[in-house]
Structure formats: C-alpha cells, structure tokens
C-alpha cells in the first residue's frame, strides 16, 4: 500500500516557514490578483490564494473586472500594478472568459517579469530553461517540494511526465532534468503510452482526464504524482489517476484533493516572498 504525499501537510509547513521569514522583512509582501468574470472555479482559486496570503502574513489585493471589461481595460490594470512599487506579485486568474476576445498570451507578457509570480512571462520561462529561475513555476515546484519532503531524489531516476502543457508538463520536465533525472514527456500522440509509463520510477500525470492512468500502466513501487483535478458527474473530485487501484501498486502517491493543489498555492506564496525580497535588495533567494 502506497504512502501518501500529503500536500495539505507539506504546504502548511511551507507557509509557516514563509510567515516566519516575512516577519523579518522591511516590507510586507503584497500579491495582487486580477479576476475577470464570475467563473465559480476561478472564484474558489482566488479565495484560496487570499487565505494563503493571510497565513503567510502577506497583503492581498483583489481586482475584479466584469467579463465584458475587455483586453484594454485588463492591460491597463496590469500596467498600473506594474508601476506600483508596493505590489510585489501580480497574477491574472486564468482562464479568461472565452467570448470576449481576451488574448491570454498578451496578458502574460504584460506582467512585469519581476512581478510575474506565476512564472509565465517568456523572460522567466527562459530562465527556467537555463536552470537559473528567479521564480519557480508553481505546480512543478510544488511537486518537487513534495518529493523533497518525503526524501525522494530524482537523480538517476526515469521520470515520465504525461502531459505537455506550458503550465505543468513542459516546465515539470525541465525541473526534473535539472535534478538529474532521465525524462520522457508523453502526450496524446505517444505510441503505446502504457509501455512508457510502466518504465517510470516516477510518474507525473497532468492531462485533465479523470482516472486516465490505470494500475496496469504503473510500475510496481513507482512514485505517482497526480496533478489532475476533475469533477465527476456525481460532483466528486478526482485526479487523472485511478487512485484506489494505483495505491495498491505504487510506493508513494498523491491524493486528490489534498495533494498537488495546496502545493501550487504554497509555491505561489514562496515566489511572492522572493519578489518582495528582490524589491528591497535582499540576496539569498530560493
């Protein structure tokens, strides 16, 4: 029976460490969140980020724009926050409303790289590629923090990443490479996916399809990290991995919910702390 990689427990420890460091800073880290429209899932995510800010001792700012506000209004709000020295981190909650012509790539590029705590700006993506990031991409960094807490090293391991998104799959592969893993990135056109995943010492899944990975696709004793978050017709949340079956085969596994999700928010707080430290010239950032 696999041991649990609990994001709930590990994120609480991370936020406690961040709060301790925050108390020593000459500035209060400030995170500004922009939400456009009234998507219920986005509202839940924004509220969770505000709660994390409170635990970390940060100042939290929220700017809610109506769905019909338009690209120009959104870019104007970002420009104002870029120019505000009291704001250290800026994020725009995605996805943006699809029916009003928003350009998410333009929005990501509008946020100053020094305040881009989601690490979506091309400048920050380039630094991630080079292995010298100012900000770690939040979800992949959260995965690594979970593994570190459990004492699981990636050095010399075969890591299979299922999914190639710019938010999770690609940066996850890069961070694993920087940890000296041998990495295979799988996707919808991978031939005989199960043959690849069964070779993995560490299997990281981020495809957005409920129970997509079944037990027969997992190597005995593998570490399984489920980044997925799906809602079934019953209303129950589940991941991309058939948890009950996989738990009997893996050595470690993340639950859904309570696995990677809390870690993503904790890493967002860590990036905001880094941005605040950078703003006042403090070195030793991680």
Q: Are residues 232 and 142 part of one domain?
A: yes
Query: How far is Cα 202 from Cα 161, in angstroms, rounded to an integer?
Result: 8
Share of residues in the chain with pLDDT > 90 (%)? 97
Q: Are residues 255 and 145 part of one domain?
A: yes
Q: Are residues 143 and 106 part of one domain?
A: no
Q: Are residues 144 and 101 part of one domain?
A: no
pLDDT of residue 282: 84
- Please give the average per-residue pLDDT across 92-106, as a whole number: 95
Q: Are residues 100 and 196 part of one domain?
A: no
Q: Are residues 145 and 101 part of one domain?
A: no
Look at residue 43 and tell me whether its pLDDT is greater than 50. Answer: yes
Q: What is the CATH number of the domain that holds 56?
A: 3.40.50.10860
Question: Which residues are part of the catalytic machinery?
Answer: 49, 93, 118
Q: Are residues 144 and 249 part of one domain?
A: yes
Look at residue 285 and tell me whether its pLDDT is greater than 50. Answer: no
- Please give the average per-residue pLDDT across 216-230, as a whole number: 97
Has residue 16 been placed in a domain?
A: no
Number of domains comprising the chain: 2
Q: Are residues 174 and 75 part of one domain?
A: no
Has residue 121 been placed in a domain?
A: no
Has residue 203 been placed in a domain?
A: yes
Q: Which domain holds residue 47?
A: 25-112
Has residue 130 been placed in a domain?
A: no
Has residue 273 been placed in a domain?
A: no
Q: Are residues 254 and 145 part of one domain?
A: yes
- Please give the average per-residue pLDDT across 183-210, as a whole number: 97
Has residue 41 been placed in a domain?
A: yes
Q: What is the CATH number of the domain that holds 254?
A: 3.40.50.720
Look at residue 283 and tell me whether its pLDDT is greater than 90. Answer: no
Q: Are residues 193 and 94 part of one domain?
A: no
pLDDT of residue 284: 43
Asked if residue 258 lies in contact with residue 7, where contact means CB atoms within 8 angstroms, the answer is yes
Q: How many CA atoms lie less than 13 Å away from 26 in the CB half-sphere? A: 6
- A 10 A CB-CB count for 62 gives 14
Asked if residue 278 lies in contact with residue 29, where contact means CB atoms within 8 angstroms, the answer is no
Distance spanning both ends of the chain, measured CA to CA: 34
- Please give the average per-residue pLDDT across 179-192, as a whole number: 97
Sign of the torsion angle spanned by Cα atoms 153, 154, 158, 162: positive
Convert the pLDDT of each residue in 233-272 to its tens digit: 998 999 999 999 999 999 999 999 999 999 999 999 999 9
Identify the band that residue 140 occupies on the pLDDT scale cut at 50, 70 and 90.
very high
Has residue 123 been placed in a domain?
A: no
- Please give the average per-residue pLDDT across 190-201, as a whole number: 98
Q: Are residues 255 and 142 part of one domain?
A: yes
Which of 112, 147, 178 marks a domain boundary? 112
Asked if residue 224 lies in contact with residue 161, where contact means CB atoms within 8 angstroms, the answer is no
Q: Are residues 161 and 100 part of one domain?
A: no
Has residue 283 been placed in a domain?
A: no
Which of 44, 77, 112 marks a domain boundary? 112
């Amino acid at each position: 029976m696999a041991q649990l990689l609990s994001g709930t427990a590990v994120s609480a420890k991370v936020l406690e460490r961040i709060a301790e460091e925050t108390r020593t800073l000459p500035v209060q880290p400030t995170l500004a969140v922009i939400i456009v429209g009234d998507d219920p899932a986005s509202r839940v995510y924004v509220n969770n980020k505000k709660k994390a800010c409170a635990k970390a001792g940060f100042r939290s700012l929220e700017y809610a724009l109506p769905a019909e506000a338009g690209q120009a209004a959104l870019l104007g709000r970002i420009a104002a926050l870029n120019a505000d020295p009291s704001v250290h981190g800026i994020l725009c909650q995605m996805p943006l409303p699809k029916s009003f012509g928003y350009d998410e790539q333009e929005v990501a590029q509008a946020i100053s790289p020094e305040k881009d705590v989601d690490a979506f700006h091309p400048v920050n993506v380039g630094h991630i590629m080079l292995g010298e990031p100012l900000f770690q991409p939040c979800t992949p960094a959260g995965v690594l923090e979970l593994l570190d807490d459990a004492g699981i090293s990636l050095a010399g391991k075969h890591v299979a990443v299922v999914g190639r998104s710019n938010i999770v799959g690609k940066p996850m592969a890069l961070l694993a490479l920087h940890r000296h893993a041998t990495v295979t990135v799988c996707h919808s056109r991978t031939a005989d996916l199960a043959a690849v995943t069964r070779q993995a010492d560490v299997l990281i899944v981020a495809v957005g399809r409920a129970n997509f990975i079944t037990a027969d696709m997992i190597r005995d004793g593998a570490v399984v990290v489920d980044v997925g978050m799906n809602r079934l017709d019953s209303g129950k949340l589940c991941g991309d991995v058939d948890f009950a079956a996989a738990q009997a085969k893996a050595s470690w596994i993340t639950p859904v919910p309570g696995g990677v999700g809390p870690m993503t928010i904790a890493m967002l707080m860590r990036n905001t702390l880094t941005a605040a430290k950078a703003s006042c010239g403090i070195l030793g950032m991680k």
